Amino acid sequence: MFEQVSDKLRKSEKIVFVTGAGISQESGIPTFRGKDGLWRKYDAMQLATIDAFYSNPKLVWEWYEERRRNILSAKPNPGHVAISELQKHKEVHVLTQNIDGLHQRAGSKSVYELHGSIITIKCTACSFKDKIESSFSEIPPTCKCGSILRPDVVWFGEALPQDVWQGAIQQASTCDTMIVVGTSLAVSPANLLPVYAKQNGATMIEVNPEQTMMSETMDLSLRVSSAKALPEIIDIVTK
């Protein structure tokens, strides 16, 4: 599959991945805009905005608790594992839009969670923030300070964590290979990261069963699932 870029992959010193929901699809976690995507069944504006949360925290929390249960029982798939394996041979950084923590559970060390984490819970008022993997007895859960807790995720209309975003730009702008996996590139500013890499002259590779708005600008765009394609990269760089 990667024949036309195998030399560049072997010579590459710094490989940066930009990943989206598609890389977790084969772990049983639905995507957002695919045929069975979450945004086909639910209204994102009713569930994934700060206004939606404050107008109906119980509804938003019920949806996040359902997703937390699914995500916490999911396992990394061969796509996540291949990226983790690759860091034994190359400098690898993962800039992910996913909030499921599967890259870290697969063993990836340098992971930038652009849209936060569904496992981390924070208070809407005080500085409380912690990883909580158990489910909550009451919905919406409240903090010791009495205020409502929320998932530490970035909702539509909210800014990305600035330290994470600046770090992601730095990595995207200094890599010699970027591999864009399982993302429709529909959401900004994450969809700018491949532009920074291309501007820096990186070899651009995409892995997605469907065409995206940047497929034409890629050096190689594979219409293949990530669990199938990514393990092949290990074979190439370890030859």
The enclosing H or E element of 220 equals: strand 220-222
Count CB-CB contacts under 10 A for residue 85: 20
Give yes or no: 115 in active site: yes
Residues with Cβ within 8 Å of residue 4, at least 6 apart in sequence: 219, 220
With CB atoms as reference, the residue minimizing the distance to ligand APR is 22
Q: Residues interacting with ligand APR, by CB under 6 A?
A: 20-23, 25-26, 31-34, 37, 44, 97, 115, 182-184, 186-187, 207-210, 212, 225-226
Strands of the sheet with 149-153, listed across from one edge: 129-131, 116-123, 149-153
- Residue 59 or 143 with smaller CB distance to ligand APR: 59
**What is the nearest approach in angstroms of ligand APR to the Cβ of residue 137?**
28
- Strands 203-207 and 91-96, bridge-based pairing: unpaired
Task: Say if CB 166 and CB 95 are below 8 A apart.
Answer: no
- Residue 39 or 128 with smaller CB distance to ligand APR: 39
| Active-site residue identified among 80, 93, 103, 115 | 115
**What is the nearest approach in angstroms of ligand APR to the Cβ of residue 62?**
18
Residues marked active site are found at 115
